[in-house]
Amino acid sequence: MVTSSLLSLSFFLISFSFLPVQTILSSSTDAFVFGGCTQQKYTPDSPYESNLNSLLTSLVNSATYSSYNNFTIMASSPQDVVYGLYQCRGDLSMPDCATCVARAVSQTGSLCPSACGGAVQLEGCYVKYDNATFLGVEDKNVVTKKCGPSVEYEKESDIVGRRDAMMAGLMGGGGLFRVGGSGEVQGLAQCVGDLSLAECQDCLSAAIQRLKTECGAGTYGDMYLGKCYARFSTSGSRDNDHYYPKSHNDKSNMDGEKTFAIIIGLLAGIALLIIFLAFLRTVVDRNGK
Ligand SMILES: *[C@@H]1O[C@H](CO)[C@@H](O)[C@H](O)[C@H]1NC(C)=O
Ligand SMILES: *[C@@H]1O[C@H](CO)[C@@H](O)[C@H](O)[C@H]1NC(C)=O
């Protein structure tokens, strides 16, 4: 009885020590992609400021249970109304989504002090707020794009062919979050959740089309439009391959963390076992007398 409860206690300790693993994993989703602010500023200590603060708090709280949400903070005077949303990349777990949104919100604070509106895109999530509504409005304007250097000549036809096939797959994928390709050629696409599926399809068609024409034979390409983005990568073409879900970098990093967590758990278990044995000895000693 004592032994079995001791065992379950050390199992509890082992699983408890796994907890920090997930927050460490999220570091790869924190990388900054772009950010922007409106010209207009609000007055410090105004009702707008307190509404904005409650909006940002709502975004961060909501990201603990949903990968997308929108909020409108109503006010008695129309100029104090604030609109906002966030969207996590579709493969993020809830804790990673919450961490990412919290980080993006804090970055809007440092990037856009007292601006009425702001937006930040990190690798793993997007956050935007404004005093004019943009919720449910499609936006295909290019916000930022990045193309890698040209693929080496001898690899070109193979890579370009596989990349085009992968992008056709993304185009036909359906859904707000899409991944495609495998091995050397990978891609992903994401819409902001306020778009309908038809609007998402329209936005992604535009992004993928632009990616093909503008990033041509590049080794990688990123096309961020107002409400969606599409990206592709060929292996080794970026400094960090952890843009993509389940990449090698993330996995080896996680394995290291797991090993560490297991060792800590085992040490805790051994320490408890020693205490238990010492306790048994005193009991046995006492009975022996
Ligand atoms: C947003 O706020 C700015 C500055 O207070 C103001 O000039 C602008 O009219 C507001 N826009 C809306 C839609 O309320
Ligand atoms: C905003 O959120 C509300 C409540 O969750 C939802 O009913 C509405 O459809 C959302 N609007 C958009 C544009 O996503």
Q: What is the pLDDT of residue 218?
A: 87
Indicate if the pLDDT at residue 160 is higher than 90.
Answer: no
Confirm or reject: Cβ of 147 under 6 Å from ligand 2.
Answer: no
Confirm or reject: Cβ of 70 under 6 Å from ligand 2.
Answer: yes
Q: Is 133 helix (H, G, I), strand (E, B) or coil?
A: coil
Q: What is the pLDDT of residue 264?
A: 53
Q: Quick check: do 16-22+29-130 and 142-234 share a fold? A: yes
23-49 pLDDT per residue, tens: 223 347 899 999 999 999 999 999 999
Q: What is the pLDDT of residue 240?
A: 45
199-231 pLDDT per residue, tens: 999 999 999 999 999 997 788 999 999 999 999
For the segment 140-154, the average pLDDT, to the nearest whole number, is 89
- Report which of residues 197 and 158 the model is more confident about: 197
DSSP 57-116: HHHHHHTTT-SEEEEEE--SSGGG-EEEEEEE-TT--HHHHHHHHHHHHHHHHHHSTTBS
Q: Is 223 helix (H, G, I), strand (E, B) or coil?
A: strand
Q: What is the pLDDT of residue 172?
A: 93
Residue 235 alpha carbon to ligand 1 centre in Å: 46
Q: Kindly list the domain boundaries of the chain, sorted by start residue.
A: 16-22+29-130, 142-234
Rg of the chain over CA atoms, in angstroms? 25
Indicate if the pLDDT at residue 277 is higher than 80.
Answer: no
Confirm or reject: Cβ of 82 under 6 Å from ligand 1.
Answer: no
Q: What is the pLDDT of residue 105?
A: 98
**Residue 133 CA: which ligand 1 atom is closest?**
13
**149 with 236: CB under 8 angstroms?**
no
- Residue to probe by mutation, ligand 2, list 69, 70, 191, 197, most atoms within 8 Å of CB: 70
Indicate if the pLDDT at residue 283 is higher than 90.
Answer: no
For the segment 75-88, the average pLDDT, to the nearest whole number, is 96
The domain made up of 142-234 has a fold known as Killer Toxin P4; Chain A (3.30.430)
Confirm or reject: Cβ of 194 under 6 Å from ligand 2.
Answer: yes
**248 with 179: CB under 8 angstroms?**
no
The bound ligand whose nearest atom lies closest to the alpha carbon of 41 is 1
> For the whole prediction, is pTM greater than 0.85?
no
**196 with 173: CB under 8 angstroms?**
no
Report which residue type is found at 212: K
Indicate if the pLDDT at residue 55 is higher than 80.
Answer: yes
Residue bearing the CA closest to ligand 1, atom 14: 79
The bound ligand whose nearest atom lies closest to the alpha carbon of 40 is 1
Residue bearing the CA closest to ligand 2, atom 2: 70
Indicate if the pLDDT at residue 187 is higher than 70.
Answer: yes
CATH superfamily of 16-22+29-130: Gnk2 domain, C-X8-C-X2-C motif (3.30.430.20)
Indicate if the pLDDT at residue 115 is higher than 50.
Answer: yes
Indicate if the pLDDT at residue 262 is higher than 60.
Answer: no
What percent of the chain shows pLDDT beyond 70?
74
Indicate if the pLDDT at residue 135 is higher than 80.
Answer: yes
Confirm or reject: Cβ of 189 under 6 Å from ligand 1.
Answer: no
For the segment 69-96, the average pLDDT, to the nearest whole number, is 96
**162 with 212: CB under 8 angstroms?**
no
Angle at 230 between CA 226 and CA 233, to 5 degrees: 145
Q: Which range, of 211-215, 240-244, 263-267, averages the lowest pLDDT?
A: 240-244
Residue 85 alpha carbon to ligand 2 centre in Å: 10
Confirm or reject: Cβ of 157 under 6 Å from ligand 1.
Answer: no
Q: What is the pLDDT of residue 5?
A: 52
The single residue listed with the structure tokens 């603990």 is: 64
Confirm or reject: Cβ of 79 under 6 Å from ligand 1.
Answer: yes
Task: pLDDT band for 111, please (50, 70, 90 cuts).
Answer: very high
